Amino acid sequence: MLIAHLSDPHLRPRGELYQGLVDSNAMFSAAVAHLNALDPAPDVVLLSGDLVDHGRAEEYAFAREALAAIRPPLLAIPGNHDERAAFRAAFADHAHLPPSGPLHFAVDDLGPVRIIGLDVTVPGHHHGEMDEAACDWLETTLAQAPGRPTLVMMHQPPFDSGIGYIDAYNCRGGDRLAAILARHRQVERLVCGHIHRFMQLRFGGTLLVTAPSTTTAIALRLAAGARPASYVEPPALLLHDWREGTGLITHHVPIGTFPGPYPFY
């Protein structure tokens, strides 16, 4: 089972630039074209939040147009730049999304890997929160299929990356989340967005990976008190490949056209 993973496209109304500088819409279209050219094709595409930049209806209208080019089924959760009600309205045809409250979901019918979406956004704020209700929902949902390999997707990562100016907006309550995951060993991967970089670490007895953005990258500045910055680095997506007997392999896939192919020796 192939699971493609995009994140943080920050789509804008047609003709508007992200931060007034970067054509995030064109960069996302390039990411979709790259994704659609993958062979074999993914079985499902994940989008781990910040679909749009300001949560406005006109942004979601363009987003649905851009997303229509994605051929496999799409599973998306909101990020801190999304607006929950507008996101829900934009995806009203996605029957797996609940009609009210946080946009949690569990999807079982796309392949051997069960996919859980966990909405930890806090309306009006940029940080996430693993509150009691989210903990109860996740505990109950994981207990329903203890023998099924599972991937959990959320937006804000529940750890400190060392980049202080983005860590201020991570998901709070990470210790509670780690305890839940440690009790449910079927979770093969916890995947996040928000941080606009690829990172990986052990968390709660499983592996946590963050997806790069299809637009700008948060600068990797690990010095204490470093000034916030971003770069237009080569964008990328992740490809999670489930193989029986091996488990889940995660690939970092740069987006674009590169020299090659050359003979392999």
Question: Could you identify the residue written with the tokens 């709070």?
Answer: 172
Distance CA 92, CA 103 (A): 12
163-205 pLDDT tens trace? 999 999 999 999 999 999 999 999 999 999 999 999 999 999 9
Q: What does the pLDDT read at residue 265?
A: 74
Q: Do residues 59 and 83 touch, judged by C-beta distance below 8 A?
A: no
19-78 pLDDT tens trace? 999 999 999 999 999 999 999 999 999 999 999 999 999 999 999 999 999 999 999 999
Verdict on whether the full-model pTM lies above 0.95: yes
Angle between helices 132-143 and 174-183 (to 10 degrees): 10
What value does the mean pLDDT take over residues 148-162? 98
114-146 pLDDT tens trace? 999 999 999 999 999 999 999 999 999 999 999
Distance CA 50, CA 210 (A): 14
Domains along the chain?
2-254 (3.60.21.10)
Q: Do residues 138 and 114 touch, judged by C-beta distance below 8 A?
A: no
Per DSSP, the chain holds a count of helices (H) and strands (E) of 6, 15
Distance CA 140, CA 231 (A): 40
What value does the mean pLDDT take over residues 199-213? 98
Nearest alpha-carbon partner for 211 in 151, 141, 168: 151
